[in-house]
A = this chain, B = another copy of it.
C-alpha cells in the first residue's frame, strides 16, 4: 500500500528506472567525465539558460550545503526561515562544513519577506558580528507554501542591493513550477535567483540532486567543495542518466503534476469535514492540518503519515508522483467508517 508519509517513500518512476538500465552498458569515465553527465548538463542549460552551470550531487542536504559554500567564508551568515530544512533537518551540516552561522527568522507560513529579513541583512558591529552573505529560501517551503514570481523577484532584488545572494532550496522545485504554471527559466533565472538546489529524488529519482548555478562567480570553487564535501560520485553517469530521463522528456512535469493534483483532490475531500482545520494553504503536494484523535487514528489505519506538531494534533500528509485517485478515495473513505 502506498503511504502519505513523504514523496521520498515512493519508488523510482518507470522512465528513470529504464534510463538506469540503459545507461548500464560498457565502461564510462568516472567522476563526471562521461557522456551522460555532459548531456545532462546541457539539458539543464535548456531549462535555466546558457549562462547556468549544473552540478550533480547525491542528496538534498549536500545540494544545500554546497550551494551555500560557494560564496561563504566562515565569518559569513545565511539568513533563513526558522522552518528551513538547513536550519532544522540537516543536523548542523552548514555550521560544520563551512563554519557558517544561520540567522533564522520566525514566521508562520515558512516564508521570508523583505520586511522580516531587513534588520538582519547587514552586520551592525563590524567585526564583531557575522556578515550575512545569503538569503536562503525554500520553494515550496517546508510548510508547502509558495513564493509567487513577484515575491521571488522582490527578494532577489533586495538581496542584490544588499550584497547578498539568493539561494533556493528546491527539494520539490518541480512541484512549485507546476503550481505556479511557470517554467524554470521564468521562476528561477528571470527572477534573479543566484543558486538553486534542484531536487530529483522526490520527483521520482533513485538518488541525486543538482545544484544549478546562475551567477558565474559561484562556479569557481564548486567542484573542490563537492569533492571535499564527499559528494563526488565516481559512477556519476547513473545520476546524470536519471536527470536526462526526468528533464528531457517532461517527466518531471508529469510527476509533479500528479503529486500536486492528488494533494488538491485530497484537500478538497477533507475540506468537507468541519472538524479538520487546515493550518497552511495547500499549494503544492502536502497538506498541513489538525485532526482529532479519532480521525487521525482512522486515517493512519489506512496509510501512515507523519505527525507535525504532536502537541497541537497537527499532521503532515504528502502525496507523491505515484499517488492515484483510488489511493485518495480509499484513504478518505476511512473517515466514513463508523
Are the CB atoms of A131 and B65 closer together than 8 Å?
Answer: no
A13 and chain B: residue at smallest CB distance: B24
Asked if A153 CB lies within 8 Å of chain B CBs, one says no
* A178 CB contacts on chain B under 8 angstroms: none
Are the CB atoms of B101 and A62 closer together than 8 Å?
Answer: no
Asked if A58 CB lies within 8 Å of chain B CBs, one says yes
Residue from A24, A29, A234 whose CB has the most chain B CB atoms within 10 Å: A234
* Set B90, B106, B228, B238: member contacting A92, Cβ < 8 A: B228
Are the CB atoms of B233 and A58 closer together than 8 Å?
Answer: yes
Are the CB atoms of B221 and A233 closer together than 8 Å?
Answer: no
Are the CB atoms of A230 and B75 closer together than 8 Å?
Answer: no
Are the CB atoms of B228 and A231 closer together than 8 Å?
Answer: no
Asked if A21 CB lies within 8 Å of chain B CBs, one says yes
Contact flag A234-B91 (CB < 8 Å), given A30-B9, A75-B224, A226-B127: no
Are the CB atoms of A127 and B91 closer together than 8 Å?
Answer: yes
Asked if A49 CB lies within 8 Å of chain B CBs, one says no
* A91 CB contacts on chain B under 8 angstroms: 75, 127-130, 224, 227-228
CA distance A235 to B125 in the complex (A): 17
A28 and chain B: residue at smallest CB distance: B9
Number of copies of this chain in the oligomer? Answer: 4
What's the dominant secondary structure at chain A's contact region?
loop
Contact with B along A92-108 (1 / 0, CB 8 A): 11011111111010100
Are the CB atoms of A26 and B6 closer together than 8 Å?
Answer: no
Are the CB atoms of A224 and B29 closer together than 8 Å?
Answer: no
* A29 CB contacts on chain B under 8 angstroms: 5, 9
* Set B10, B73, B95, B226: member contacting A101, Cβ < 8 A: B95
* A9 CB contacts on chain B under 8 angstroms: 27-30
**Chain B proximity of A91: nearest CB distance (Å):** 4
* A98 CB contacts on chain B under 8 angstroms: 74
Asked if A1 CB lies within 8 Å of chain B CBs, one says yes
Asked if A296 CB lies within 8 Å of chain B CBs, one says no
Are the CB atoms of A74 and B223 closer together than 8 Å?
Answer: no
A224 and chain B: residue at smallest CB distance: B75
CA distance A262 to B143 in the complex (A): 52
* A3 CB contacts on chain B under 8 angstroms: 27
Are the CB atoms of B24 and A10 closer together than 8 Å?
Answer: no
Asked if A154 CB lies within 8 Å of chain B CBs, one says no
* A24 CB contacts on chain B under 8 angstroms: 11-12, 17, 206
Q: List 8 A-B contacts (CB under 8 A).
A: A58-B207, A61-B230, A74-B96, A104-B104, A127-B224, A206-B235, A206-B238, A230-B230
Known: A9-B30, A20-B20, A207-B235. 9 other contacts (CB 8 A): A6-B30, A12-B24, A20-B206, A73-B221, A91-B228, A106-B106, A126-B223, A128-B232, A206-B238
Shortest 9 CB-CB contacts between residues of A and residues of B: A96-B99, A62-B230, A75-B224, A8-B234, A91-B227, A127-B223, A91-B228, A92-B101, A9-B27
